[in-house]
Amino acid sequence: MALVAAGCDSGPAPAPPPPAPGPETARPSAPLPPPAAVPATAPADFLAAHGLQGRIGLIAFGSLRDRLSQKALETMATIPAAGGMPDLVLAAVAMADDAKAVEAHYGGFPPPFPVVPDADGALARALGVGVHPTAVLVDRAGRVRYHGPFPQETHLYDWVDALGREKTEPAPDAVAIGLWGPEARRLLDATRLPRLAGDPARLADFIQPGGLLVVFADVQCPFAGEAITDVKTVVEGLAKHGAATVLVNIGDAEADVRPYYAGKDPGVPVLFDVTRAIEKAWHVDEVPKAYYFTGQGALVYRGKAMWDNVAAAAEESLGLAPNAIQFSVRGTEYG
């Protein structure tokens, strides 16, 4: 079972440059970004108590009462059966009063990994987790190397393989994997693209106090077309809570982009990139892909254009009750 359902590949990548002289080395299909400061180190006592010390670990943070958290745990439970990642150890941290509450919740059928209660949120705070569900990948030294939504299966395999080939104690500037935290905020500021209407703009220019939804799409993929049609409805629901929405079209010629959107009128600003630069910088492996940022520019959702999932992330970041944000469109699980 894949961790994320396949959508439309965002298109053929340009030919890679000739390899540098020297011995051949394995290259993961999910590339590691440039070195960045590691956001945190997991508490040693937690790692030791749950078989994670000196191991590569995937830790799921969530709530026993949250539907998205439960879905994430169910997905993670399929990893041992899938095989192929013998170096990976799994664990979960749940917002629960104690072990008895966890046991009662699962009714004698717990997941095939430990589920640790975190009543006061100390473990979540130690690892900078503020939104549930969140996946945290730690290396053998206990350093957090990925922090964000559950990664695609292919990316997880590649990252575990890459971490497995590292030295036991990486340098303090160890490469952070994926897109999260300061890197995402930097990209918001650095991404400046032409608009279908108006002058070129930075994505950061569109952030509102309630946040910003960025939807990546193209003119070829039918699933992206569904998301583009949905956006006109989605923007209305988010605008009620002070959040903005932007569409970014990637990889298509301007001559194809303009007539396509002229007939769609999505009701939001449309930026476009005729190259593959934005696709690579933002790790957009498939379209449509949705990213939700808080009003302060923190990335709290990256994943499918499933609008209930986007709403849940927005609600938690805004301190709203569940289902406070509702859309009349479902979105697509592909992408």
> Is residue 331 one of the residues assigned to a domain?
no
H or E stretch covering 60: strand 56-63
Q: Which residues contact 208 (CB under 8 A, 6 or more apart)?
A: 242, 243, 244, 295
Strand pairing category for 115-117 and 192-193: unpaired
> Is residue 285 one of the residues assigned to a domain?
yes
> Is residue 299 one of the residues assigned to a domain?
yes
Query: pTM of the full predicted structure?
Result: 0.60
Q: Same domain, yes or no, for 159 and 189?
A: no
CATH number at residue 77: 3.40.30.10
Q: Same domain, yes or no, for 46 and 156?
A: yes
**What does each of the 335 residues of the chain score in pLDDT, given as a tens digit?**
233 334 676 554 433 333 332 222 222 334 333 333 344 677 888 888 888 888 899 999 988 877 788 888 888 888 876 667 888 999 999 988 888 888 888 877 788 888 999 888 888 877 777 677 888 888 888 888 887 777 777 778 888 888 888 765 555 444 555 555 556 778 899 999 999 998 999 999 999 999 999 999 999 999 999 999 999 999 999 999 999 999 999 999 999 999 999 988 899 999 999 998 998 888 787 899 999 998 988 887 878 899 998 998 899 889 899 899 999 999 998 86
Q: Same domain, yes or no, for 221 and 147?
A: no
Q: Same domain, yes or no, for 67 and 99?
A: yes
Q: Same domain, yes or no, for 156 and 240?
A: no
What's the domain range around 116?
36-164
Q: Same domain, yes or no, for 295 and 188?
A: yes
Q: Same domain, yes or no, for 289 and 160?
A: no
- Residue that terminates a domain, selected from 164, 191, 218: 164
> Is residue 150 one of the residues assigned to a domain?
yes
Please give the tally of structural domains in the chain. Answer: 2
> Is residue 3 one of the residues assigned to a domain?
no
Beta bridge partners of 270: 247
Concatenating the DSSP letter of every residue in 243-292 gives EEEEEEEES--HHHHHHHHHTT--SS-EEEESSSHHHHHTT--EESEEEE
Q: Same domain, yes or no, for 153 and 188?
A: no
Burial of 63 (0-12, 13-18, 19+ CB in 10 A): middle
Q: Which two tokens stand for residue 277?
A: 């630069």
> Is residue 103 one of the residues assigned to a domain?
yes
> Is residue 230 one of the residues assigned to a domain?
yes
Q: Same domain, yes or no, for 119 and 213?
A: no
Q: How many CA atoms lie within 13 A of 219 on its CB side?
A: 19
